[in-house]
């Protein structure tokens, strides 16, 4: 890495519950990351969406009425530490799967591990606050929100998530935009994490495109979306990337043979603090509750699929066979 430039890494949904939690009873904390750790160790800062709670116990009566509940043992915060994760988003539809006590336990586990978090908290002020990290002299902030689970919206004195609908007309959106402006005035880089949209679909909903641009206009340097189980294309707007969906990175889910929710990428961009100098993405596959770097034809196939989705958003790409990565926005 040249002097003054730093690399930042983003991954999509990381779910450490159910069978992943079982595997972690016998495997080390590094296991779920597989050989992707070689990429994680080459960057200055790392982020993912934590799609489960980290808690050892829960009150069955506290479980909300929903199909899936994801919990991982509190000790598995070590999994995040093994990858050097610096910050996570908690603004998603599994943060209160086991009630407010489990969310409080998750916050405590992350705090004790020194992992910053945003998107959920003890009240709306905490949930909507940016996670701030110092990265080799630069101040980096992450703001996280979701349009999932409106009933979990944090209150003035109630644990919850930073919820808002994807609508420029909703007053909560103006709150978000003001938070971005205020944060940008104090931070070198501001990232927006958006857990939005339906589970499926390789094209972003029409409402996401103007909303993502709205976030950039307010001061965001990068928007990373997740929630869909599959990846979507990447747009460059005002020379800043909007990753509409990063897809699933670690989980135990059944794989849809058509949608292929086992396919994703590691997103790495390089900046000197004044602009995005490059964005490269590394194809990955989920196998046996573990993320793995795609190789050979698998890697080229994933890159080709993403290249087409980017082209639909008028974004150019170049495949680098030696690095096994797709450069986004390359002219």
Mean pLDDT of 262-276: 88
19 backbone dihedrals φ, ψ, rounded to 5°: -70, -30
**Pairing verdict, β 263-271 and 248-250:** unpaired
Residues 278-307 as b or e (16 or more Cβ within 10 Å = b)? ebbbbbbbbeebbbbbbeeeebbebbebbb
Measured CA to CA, the distance from residue 331 to residue 318 in angstroms comes to: 8
What integer best gives the mean pLDDT of the chain? Answer: 95
Please, which residues bridge with residue 130 across strands?
Answer: none
- pTM, to two decimals: 0.96
Nearest by Cα to 184 from 228, 231, 223, 220: 220
Tokens of 125: 């002020």
Structure confidence by residue, pLDDT tens digits, 111-162: 999 999 999 999 999 999 999 999 988 999 999 999 999 999 999 988 999 9
Element (H or E) spanning 138, and its range?
strand 138-146
**pLDDT surpassing 80 at residue 4:** no
Domain boundaries, the chain: 6-328
Measured CA to CA, the distance from residue 166 to residue 188 in angstroms comes to: 26
- pLDDT at res. 66: 81
Measured CA to CA, the distance from residue 17 to residue 15 in angstroms comes to: 6
The CATH number of domain 6-328, selected from 3.40.50.20, 3.30.110.40, 3.10.180.10, 3.60.21.10: 3.60.21.10
Residues 6+ apart with CB under 8 A from 56: 73, 74, 105
């Amino acid at each position: 890495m040249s002097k003054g430039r730093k690399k930042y890494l983003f991954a999509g949904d990381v779910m450490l519950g159910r069978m992943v939690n079982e595997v972690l009873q016998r495997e080390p904390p590094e296991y779920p990351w597989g050989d992707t750790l070689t990429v994680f160790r080459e960057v200055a800062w790392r982020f993912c969406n934590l799609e489960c709670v980290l808690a050892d116990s829960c009150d069955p009566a506290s479980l909300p009425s929903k199909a899936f509940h994801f919990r991982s043992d509190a000790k598995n915060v070590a999994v995040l530490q093994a990858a050097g994760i610096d910050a996570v988003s908690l603004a998603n539809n599994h943060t209160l799967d086991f009630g407010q006590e489990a969310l409080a336990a998750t916050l405590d586990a992350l705090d004790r591990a020194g992992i910053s978090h945003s998107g959920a908290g003890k009240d709306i002020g905490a949930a909507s606050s940016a996670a701030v990290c110092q990265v080799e002299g630069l101040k980096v902030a992450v703001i996280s929100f979701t349009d999932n689970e409106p009933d979990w919206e944090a209150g003035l004195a109630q644990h919850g998530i930073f919820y808002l609908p994807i609508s420029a007309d909703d007053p909560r959106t103006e709150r978000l935009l003001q938070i971005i402006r205020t944060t940008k005035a104090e931070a070198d880089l501001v990232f927006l994490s958006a857990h939005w949209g339906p589970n499926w679909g390789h094209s972003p909903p029409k409402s996401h495109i103007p909303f993502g641009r709205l976030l950039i206009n307010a001061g965001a340097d990068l928007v990373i979306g997740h929630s869909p189980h599959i990846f979507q294309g990447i747009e460059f707007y005002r020379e800043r990337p909007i990753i509409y969906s990063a897809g699933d990175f670690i989980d135990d889910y059944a794989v849809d043979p058509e949608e292929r929710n086992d396919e994703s990428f590691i997103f790495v961009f390089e900046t000197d603090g004044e602009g995005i100098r490059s964005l490269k993405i590394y194809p990955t596959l989920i196998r046996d509750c573990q993320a793995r770097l795609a190789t050979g034809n698998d890697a080229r196939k994933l890159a080709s699929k993403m290249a087409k989705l980017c082209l639909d958003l008028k974004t150019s790409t170049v495949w680098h066979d030696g690095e096994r990565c797709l450069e986004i926005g390359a002219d």
